[in-house]
Amino acid sequence: DVKVTQSSRYLVKRTGEKVFLECVQDMDHENMFWYRQDPGLGLRLIYFSYDVKMKEKGDIPEGYSVSREKKERFSLILESASTNQTSMYLCASGGVNTGELFFGEGSRLTVL
């Protein structure tokens, strides 16, 4: 069974803390993505990566960074969390030339 695993389902952090969200996929996919999902706004792309050590900004990269040191792992980093980063974060992976992405179950982050 193919899988995208996000390290934490629920996190509560304080303003200014550094936050790491980890994502691992077992499908040997080239492409990996981080989205955030907010009510009424749908899914918005933060960053994506199409190869190891490669990254591209999505539509809302401000306040975030990413790391892809290994093909199977894509990490989202909030250097200094703020309350407006309270959201559901979804990681996804996919092969090339396909619209089919596989999503993790999400990480709900609350920043106090």
Partner 1 sequence: GESVGLHLPTLSVQEGDNSIINCAYSNSASDYFIWYKQESGKGPQFIIDIRSNMDKRQGQRVTVLLNKTVKHLSLQIAATQPGDSAVYFCAESGANSKLTFGKGITLSVRP
Q: Which residues bind partner 1 (CB under 8 A)?
A: 4, 31, 33, 35, 40-45, 48, 50, 56, 58-59, 90, 92, 94-106
Output 8 or 31, the one with its CB closest to partner 1: 31
Question: For 18-48, b where at least 16 C-beta lie within 10 A, e where not — what string?
Answer: ebebbbbbeeebebbbbbbeeeeeeeebbbb
Work out how close the CB of 49 gets to partner 1 at its nearest, in angstroms, rounded to a whole number. 9
Q: How long a stretch of residues is the chain?
A: 112
Nearer to partner 1, 17 or 103 (CB): 103
